[in-house]
Amino acid sequence: MRRIAKLAANPVMVALVASLALAGCASKKTPNSAADLGLGGGAATPGSAQDFTVNVGDRIFFDLDSSSIRADAQQTLARQAQWLNRYRQYSIVVEGHADERGTREYNLALGARRAAATRDYLASQGVAASRIKTISYGKERPVAVCDDISCWSQNRRAVTTLGGAGS
């Protein structure tokens, strides 16, 4: 889990690790990021949504049952804030997610708390709070679908989406 966490600063690497982890779970491969969808990192136009997802990193990860912003996540959010402060035309929706190792209603609330913590961190880095909406998906929208920690740790996430587009 820590290994993935450290690599989270580079989303292309995360996607690679995720793919390897998923290879052990039959038929569980899932497009997890722009890299999985075949979008090369360097190809994105600066200031585009692809640029944000691939070169900045659109998501951060959380420890079990926690909504604290980890050190690796702070780095990602600092880069997000820098980018968002440069490209101010985008509105922002932060999606909070939980893994399946909790009950539905509690995890909905936990996802909300993660989204709010992410919003507050971005705001502390100068992104206008009025640009940021939050939504929780609880455990309803996992990106990794296997039944062990390699997937759960990817699903405990907050995803910063631009212009209200879904992740």
Partner 1 sequence: MKTLLKTLMMVAALAGAATGLAIGPASALVEIDVNKGTIEPLPIAITDFAGGELGAEISSIVQADLKRSGLFAPIDKAAFIEKIANPDQAPRFDDWKVINAQALVTGRVSKEGDGRVRAEYRLWDTFAGQQLSGEQFFANGANTRRVAHIIADAIYERLTGEKGYFDTRIVFIDESGAKNARKKRLAIMDQDGANARFLSDGRSIVMTPRFSPNRQEITYMSYESGQPRVYLLQLETGQRELVGNFPGMTFAPRFSPDGQRVIMSLMREDGNSNIYSMDLRSRNTTRLTSSNAIDTSPSYSPDGSKIVFTSDRGGRPHIYVMGADGSGQTRISFGEGSYSTPVWSPRGDLIAFTKQSGGQFQIGVMRTDGSGERILTSGFLQEGPTWAPNGRVIMYLKQAAGSGGPKLYSVDLTGRNEQQIPSPNFASDPAWSPLLD
Alpha carbon distance 20, 150 (integer Å): 10
Residue 24: how many CB atoms within 10 A of its CB?
Answer: 10
User: For residues 6 and 28, which CB has a smaller minimum distance to partner 1 in the complex?
Assistant: 28
User: For residues 56 and 60, which CB has a smaller minimum distance to partner 1 in the complex?
Assistant: 60
User: For residues 11 and 96, which CB has a smaller minimum distance to partner 1 in the complex?
Assistant: 96
Q: How far is the CB of 162 from partner 1 (least distance, A)?
A: 16
- Residues making contact with partner 1 (CB under 8 A): 30, 65, 67, 96, 100-106, 108-110, 112-117, 134-137, 140-145, 147
Q: How far is the CB of 126 from partner 1 (least distance, A)?
A: 20
Alpha carbon distance 29, 27 (integer Å): 6
Q: How far is the CB of 84 from partner 1 (least distance, A)?
A: 20
User: For residues 11 and 138, which CB has a smaller minimum distance to partner 1 in the complex?
Assistant: 138
3-state secondary structure (DSSP) of residue 159: strand
Among candidates 51, 53, 73, which has minimal Cα distance to 62?
73
User: For residues 19 and 48, which CB has a smaller minimum distance to partner 1 in the complex?
Assistant: 19
Among candidates 77, 90, 91, 96, which has minimal Cα distance to 135?
96
Q: How far is the CB of 139 from partner 1 (least distance, A)?
A: 10
How do beta strands 92-97 and 132-138 pair? Answer: parallel
Alpha carbon distance 21, 108 (integer Å): 26
Q: How far is the CB of 133 from partner 1 (least distance, A)?
A: 9
Task: At 33, list the tokens.
Answer: 């990021």
